[in-house]
A and B are shown apart, each in its own frame.
Chain A
Amino acid sequence: MTVPPTPSNVVPPELTTSKRVKTVSGITVRLAGDSGDGMQLLGTQLTNTSALAGNDVATFPDFPAEIRAPRGTRAGVSGFQVQFASEEIFTPGDTLDALVVMNPAAMVTNLADLRKGGILIANVDGFNEKEFKLAKVESDPLEASVIEETYRIFKVSMTKLTRDAVADFGLSPKVADRCKNFFAMGLVYWLFGRSLDTTLRFIEAKFGKKPDVAAANVAALRAGWAYGETTEAFGESFQVEAATLVPGTYRNMMGNQALAWGLITASKLSDKDLFYGTYPITPASDILHELSKYKNFGVRTFQAEDEIAAVCATIGAAFGGTMGVTASSGPGIALKAEGMGLGMILELPMIVINVQRGGPSTGLPTKTEQSDLLQCMFGRNGEAPLPILAPRSPGDCFDIAVEAWRIATECMCPVMILSDGYIANGSEPWKIPDVASMQPITVNHPEGTDVDEPFMPYARDEYLARPWAIPGTPGLMHRVGGLEKQDGTGNVSYDPANHQHMTDTRAAKVDRIAERIPDQDVFGDSTGDVLVVSWGGTYGSCHTAVKQCQQAGHKVSHAHLRYINPMPKNVGELLRAFKTVVVPELNKGQLRMLLRAKYLVDCIGINKVQGKPFSVSELIEAIEEHVAQSIPANVDSRASANGKPTAKSKAS
């Protein structure tokens, strides 16, 4: 259907501003409101619109674990941060250029991140005595004199203006008030010179079946735009030119979506149907939602009765010759541990994804953390090493998923992917690959035989991989199990020398992957004062921080690990080529522990567990401290290496 007509006097159809336009290289904006205010929707729309305008974008949604936390409270504040820029960016931005707040709770919990002189847009209709009480503020925070002095503040009566804009559509007051996020969106679009087209299409698709609601939302959106254009308060708007990215066709991509698409792609590249066994858990569930849409790609999703059933059904599918994948977050991975150990000793290919969140136990379900690294390395009984890969950004999830399946099938073992909530829910422009030019994943199953000679299910090839003989193949009947098995035959064996041999072989199989993965690359010189080593979702902050340190003349380089187990062959050499190795992680120093244990190189941690990503500025501050101190090594850095937070991370 078409978008219903709106009052023609609201806004001219071409939507070009007649006011002054200031061109800037990038904008960081955060939209914050109650969790029922539609801030995530607003943020997603602004992101898509900016991406379509050719900007580089990076996003950071931040929302409470409760579906509807108590209204108006600080705990119920939901935020969405997006940076859009005309240059390549790697993070959603440190400090905000603009902050939109729908109520006092949103204002007091987010204001600290707004830069001095930044734009603060407040829905004044959300600021009243009742709301002050809910937000536990004593008086109207907008009226504090320091606010006027520090920020460029715009008080907008959004609720009332929205009601007026949608008055003609005969909606109930409750439904009418729900349109106010579209009013805010219209105003933000005006302020940053964004086109309404994407959002108009979205409204049409989303509310097409309720024409009155669709028309009201369109009216609210246009009214918001018109408010910016006509109100004297807003003197100028901002323009961010298109970014120069590698030529190609792009789309905006979130991490979990990229994982799902990467898995489907791996399934097609290997000509294997995909079985996805899982149990709902934040922040991994969106992979299930995404995959369940693509049954026409041969995807079978299985929502199991629990995490254990999910991993075990996946192993069952793998035994049958299907591409088996399971995913969860830390608590679920803990439950899957025994199953993963079985998958490991059965030597069947499959993928286990951990989208990490704040821990321990239930922890911080909607917040990001990197504290499951050692769980994934060692969290199984017995000697049970598994290959581990970690995507560095939302788009990288796609490549990591394909690579994980390639390794799993080559080595005949489960492969782990360590993502995190920041990557999972964040988004960035993704260059659409040419599927035809992607390298196929060759999977062989031994053929049947009518010769009655015993089949050797644990014979090995040059990768130490065993044959993937699947049920239905005549003459290859064999039994696998969790008991130690005799080399070659796979029969149960308690022989001491055999157990040593099999344990060594399973470990060597994982270690040998290092022979086939690319060497670790370095951003910057391959020797110098400081090497920053990172992994996972901290890539963007670390890269940006190192880049700025380099621009400041420091001899700082960056190595970001995507292969965690095994690590690339040259990592040890690389660590030894720098005077100081600094390892920023959103945990208490887990990669640092691995690096020190494996390479006997001292490493200094920059560690924080606040449910938030690193800001670039706190990393620069911490890195610069070590540039200054890299000769000679000093007491402070040793203290930090022992797990104490750096001054900055403690303060932030």
Chain B
Amino acid sequence: MLPVLKAADFASDQDVRWCPGCGDYSILAQMKKILPDLGVPREKTVFISGIGCSSRFPYYMNTYGMHSIHGRAPTFATGLKSTRPDLMVWVITGDGDALSIGGNHFIHLLRRNVDLNIVLFNNRIYGLTKGQYSPTSTEGQVTKSTPMGSIDHPLNPLSIALAAEGTFVARSIDAHVKHLGDTLKRAAEHKGTSLVEVYQNCNVFNDGAMAYAQEKKQRADNVVELEHGKPLIFGAKSDKGVRLVGSRLEVVNLADVAVDDLLIHDEKEPNPAIQMMLARMRYPDMPEPIGVLRSVEGVATYNEQINEQVELAKQKNGVGDLQKLFSAGDTWQVA
């Protein structure tokens, strides 16, 4: 019988060195908490990260891990999972790492549907390099590198993931710990690439940037928790909803509109059009969705297919024989 592991068994002997009060602590805690439930032994679990504050994560896990180079974690993970499909692989990344320097790899990992899980710590700022704006910083944001305000239009990681035909796309919040744990667990259970964007507070360089979603008091009015098959209802008094009118979503008051007229969330719909509309709901005009936007099963994974082709080739042509290979075709003898 397998030994029953506890959260503490997943902690490495290294001191955690994030700033006190950083949202990363909560994500680390939730990860350690859900891993025992997944039933995967520690030695079969691998965390691969890029560069940034979040990317120190693997050092704190008593599993196999690699702290790689900036933006490239998805590529190391692809090479590892393609050759070692028996491992559970997690990619730990941030908004700069995944969307700026590593944007290319992020897209290609999702479209290949490699069976691994991405946790994207989104704090909308560069923390490790001390406070420059990131690709998810808001327009006009004043940072060390944008004293007159950012003129970049921000990227939305969920929109990108949906556009890349990602099969599992979700969002959660560092401070919403139960929701975070549940979402990470669902990501781990999904076969294919899972993306979980986590709103993570950088209390040093961008404190409160997502307070509207992180703070419990504000959250109910600004966030809608998606549940498959359920109508989109939100608000501190659960008195507001989201409905689809023509080709756009709108917020309605449940005093005026029947629950039956609200949009029913369908995470399993292969066509991502409505999921994309959800991803585009932005504070303060709309409540921002958290939970699983999309979870489509049955799409072949890259790691399955690359290994299936090897097996198929062996069946078709026989297991490779070097001497036969060398001697095939035109050869001649010298006596």
Contacts and interface: CB of A to CB of B under 8 A. Distances in A.
Interface string B316-335: 11111011011101111111
A360 interface: no
Interface in A271-294: 273, 275, 277, 294
Contacts of B81: 316
Interface in B281-335: 306-307, 309-310, 312-314, 316-320, 322-323, 325-327, 329-335
A261 B108 contact: no
A358 to B, nearest CB: 27
Given A198-B330, A316-B48, A324 B79 contact: yes
B14 interface: yes
A312 B59 contact: no
Contact of B12 (A275, A277, A321, A479): A479
A268 B326 CA distance: 14
Contacts of B331: 249-251, 432
Contacts of B41: 474
Interface string B56-95: 0011011111111100101111111111101100000000
B30 to A, nearest CB: 20
B283 to A, nearest CB: 33
A454 B79 CA distance: 27
B320 A298 contact: yes
B53 interface: no
Nearest to B46: A471
Interface in A84-121: none
A408 to B, nearest CB: 16
A252 B330 contact: yes
Contacts of B77: 316
Contacts of A479: 12, 58-59, 61, 64-67
A161 to B, nearest CB: 29
Contacts of B323: 434-436
* From A48, A297, A474, A477, residue with most partner B Cβ within 10 Å: A477
A304 B112 CA distance: 11
Contact of B59 (A299, A320, A492): A492
A474 B44 CA distance: 8
A317 B322 contact: no
Q: Which bucket holds chain B's interface residue count?
A: 35 or more
Contacts of B333: 248-250
Contacts of A434: 323
A553 interface: no
B334 A312 contact: no
Contact of B64 (A261, A338, A477): A477
Contacts of B307: 300
Contacts of B145: none
A476 B14 CA distance: 16
B256 interface: no
B238 interface: no
Contacts of B319: 296-297
A479 B45 CA distance: 12
B43 A313 contact: no
Contacts of B309: 295
Contacts of B326: 251, 261, 432-433, 435
B320 to A, nearest CB: 3
A343 to B, nearest CB: 10
Which of B64, B307, B309 is the most central at the interface, judged by chain A CB atoms within 10 Å of its CB?
B64
B228 interface: no
Contacts of A3: none
A12 B68 CA distance: 68
A52 B332 CA distance: 6
Contacts of A342: 68-69
B190 interface: no
A296 B313 CA distance: 5
B13 interface: yes
A309 interface: yes
A300 B327 CA distance: 23
Interface string B17-61: 000000000000000000000000111101010010000001101
B271 interface: no
Nearest to B334: A245
B80 to A, nearest CB: 4
B104 interface: yes
Contacts of A51: 330, 332
A321 B12 CA distance: 23
Nearest to B70: A338
B79 A316 contact: yes
A4 interface: no
B105 interface: yes
Contacts of B104: 305-306, 309
A548 B101 CA distance: 55
Contact of A261 (B65, B84, B107, B325): B325
Nearest to A294: B320
A86 to B, nearest CB: 12
B80 A320 contact: yes
Contacts of B14: 491-492
Given A475-B43, A492-B59, A295 B313 contact: yes
Interface string B177-206: 000000000000000000000000000000
Interface in A474-525: 474-483, 491-492
A474 B43 contact: yes
A635 interface: no
Contacts of B75: 304, 308-310, 312-313, 316
A264 interface: yes
A313 B79 contact: yes
B43 A472 contact: yes
A249 B332 contact: yes
Nearest to A483: B67
Contacts of A321: 83-84
Interface of B: 12-14, 41-44, 46, 48, 51, 58-59, 61-69, 72, 74-84, 86-87, 104-105, 107-108, 306-307, 309-310, 312-314, 316-320, 322-323, 325-327, 329-335
19 contacts: A54-B332, A244-B334, A251-B329, A275-B83, A294-B320, A295-B310, A296-B316, A300-B306, A302-B79, A305-B108, A306-B104, A312-B68, A315-B76, A316-B77, A316-B81, A319-B66, A471-B46, A479-B12, A482-B51
Given A268-B320, A471-B44, 14 more contacts: A261-B326, A296-B316, A297-B325, A298-B310, A298-B320, A304-B108, A309-B78, A309-B105, A312-B79, A320-B87, A435-B322, A472-B86, A479-B64, A481-B58
